[in-house]
Amino acid sequence: MKTLAQLALVVLVALGGSVVRAQEPGSDFDVDLPSGWEMTTFVDGAKVKRTEYVFGDRSKALLKVKRLRSERSEGFESLVTGDVEGGLKFQPGFVAGRNERFGGGTLTGSLVEFDFTRGGRPMLGRNYYLQAADGSVWVLQFTGDRTTLGGIRNLTDQIARSFRAKP
C-alpha cells in the first residue's frame, strides 16, 4: 500500500511535473525537490559552505535546513517553543500564525507559520520541525513573499514529507 506522499508523487509525475532528489555529498539528509526548486551552494563570510533551496529566486521562496540537538530531558514541544521564542519572534514585524501537528512522511513533528517583514515587504515563514529517531530535530525553514509562498503550501508540505535524515 502506498503512503499519501508516494501517491502525491505519482500524481505529480503523471501530470508532467518532475521531482529531483537533492543529495549533497556529505549531507546528513535527502529531500525531494519538485519542479521549480533548485539547490544552490555558497561559502559565507565565515568560510563555511552553505546549501539553500530556491523556488524561482530567493525573494519568492527559500528553504534552509538546520539541525537542532536537544538534551534528553528536553521535550520536543519545549525545543520548538524555544526556537520560536529565541529567534523567530525577533524578526521585524513578526506576527505568530498557526502551530499544528505535521506528518505523513518518514518523520513527524510540528508546522509553525508566521508573518514578518523584510525591507518593508510583507513576508511569510513556514517552519517544519521534524523529529528524528536519534532525538535530534530537523527544521525546514521556508521563507518568502506572502503571495508566492502562501500559494505553494502543497509543495512545501511535499518537500517536508519527502525529507529523510541519514543514520
Q: Spell 12-51 as b/e; 16+ CB within 10 A means b.
A: beeeeeebeebeeeeeebebbbbeebeeeeeeeeeeeeee
The pLDDT score that the predictor gives to residue 158 is 95
Give me the helices (H) in the chain, please: 4-14, 76-86, 146-151, 153-162
Segment 112-128, tens digit of pLDDT = 999 999 999 999 999 99
The pLDDT score that the predictor gives to residue 4 is 36
Q: Answer positive or negative: Cα dihedral of 66, 71, 72, 78.
A: negative
| Burial of 163 from C-beta contacts in 10 A (0-12 / 13-18 / 19+) | buried
DSSP state of 135: S
Segment 83-112, tens digit of pLDDT = 999 889 999 999 999 999 999 888 999 999
List the domain range (segments joined by +) for residue 67: 4-165
CATH number at residue 41: 3.40.1000.10
Rounded Cα distance between 35 and 68, Å, is 28
pTM as predicted: 0.83
Which phi and psi angles does 96 have, rounded to 5°?
-65, 140
Q: All 3 cell numbers of residue 97?
A: 500564525
Rounded Cα distance between 123 and 149, Å, is 9
Q: How many domains are contained in the chain?
A: 1
Segment 25-80, tens digit of pLDDT = 567 899 999 999 999 998 988 998 889 999 988 889 999 999 987 776 778 898 89
Rounded Cα distance between 15 and 34, Å, is 12
